[in-house]
Amino acid sequence: MGTDLHELLRSLRVWAPETTELPAFAPSAAPAEPLELFTEWFAQAVAAGQTEPHTMSLATADADGMPDVRIVMLHGADADGWVFATHAGSRKGGQLAARPYAALGFYWSAQGRQIRLRGPVTSGPPEEGQADLHARSTGALAAALTGHQSEVLGSTEELARASAAAWERARREPDAPVPSWTLYRLQPEEVEFFQGDAERRHVRLVYRRTQGGWTRELLWP
C-alpha cells in the first residue's frame, strides 16, 4: 500500500513540546553585531543537542536568475564573513562565478530558531582552500579528490572506482592538492534571527549593514 503523503503531513507538527524547548528571546537585549548573536545562538544550539547545527542551506542563482539551493557545511564566521567550501567547478561554483551573491539559512529545530543571511560572496585565495581542506578529515580529502562534483555520472561503479582511488591517495598523501577546492565568504548585508513562539508570536530581528555598523529592526512574523 502506498504512503498517503497528505495524511502523513497533517499528522506532523513543528516544535512538539517533548522535543523542543522554545527559549525566550528579548530582542532589546540583543548585541549590536549579528556575529555575536550568531555565535551565542550557535553555542546554545550545540548545548541543546541540535543535530548538525553547522549544516546550512546555501542559495545561489544562475546567470538567468533561476534560484538553486543545497546544504553545505559552515567552516567559520568572523568579521570577514560566513565561510563555506566547495569545488569552484561545481554547479554552485559556476553560479557564484556568474552572480557572486548568495543566501544562507540555518534551522535549529531543537529551539525553534532560524537564521538567514544574504549578501555578496568572494572566493578566497587557493592556498586558503588547500589549508582548510588539509586540516579536515581523510574522508573530506578523499571526497574532494574524487572530484567531478555536479558532472553527470555514468554509473555507480565509476564512482566506486574513483572514490577508492581517492581514499587510497588521501591516506598516502594527506597534503594532496585539490586545486578546485575553494573557500567562499559570504559577507552579509542582512542577517535575520527568528525565534519561534508557541503562541505564534515569533520574534524576528533583522540586522542591516550600514556605513559604520548595523541597524536592528523587528519584523512582523
The helix (run of H) or strand (run of E) holding residue 164 is helix 156-172
Q: How far apart are CA 69 and CA 60, in angstroms?
A: 6
Which of 36, 49, 55, 98 touches ligand FMN (CB under 6 A)? 55
Q: How far apart are CA 112 and CA 195, in angstroms?
A: 6
Number of residues that bind ligand FMN (CB under 6 A): 14
Comparison of 141 and 205: residue with beta carbon closer to ligand FMN: 141
Comparison of 91 and 118: residue with beta carbon closer to ligand FMN: 91
Half-sphere exposure of 64 (CA within 13 A, CB side): 2
Among the listed residues 136, 98, 108, the one whose alpha carbon sits nearest the alpha carbon of residue 15: 108
Q: Assess 71 for contact with ligand FMN (CB under 6 A).
A: yes
Comparison of 90 and 146: residue with beta carbon closer to ligand FMN: 90
Query: Measured between alpha carbons, how far is residue 173 from residues 23, 67, 139 in Å?
Result: 47, 38, 13
Any known ligand binding at 163? no
Comparison of 130 and 195: residue with beta carbon closer to ligand FMN: 130
Q: How far apart are CA 73 and CA 58, in angstroms?
A: 9
Q: Assess 86 for contact with ligand FMN (CB under 6 A).
A: yes
Any known ligand binding at 91? yes
Among the listed residues 179, 94, 187, the one whose alpha carbon sits nearest the alpha carbon of residue 129: 179
131-190 residues near ligand FMN, rule: CB under 6 A? 149-150
Binding span for ligand FMN by CB under 6 A among 10-18, 64-72, 156-164, 188-196: 64-72
Name the site residues for ligand FMN (rule: CB under 6 A): 55, 68, 70-73, 84-86, 90-92, 149-150
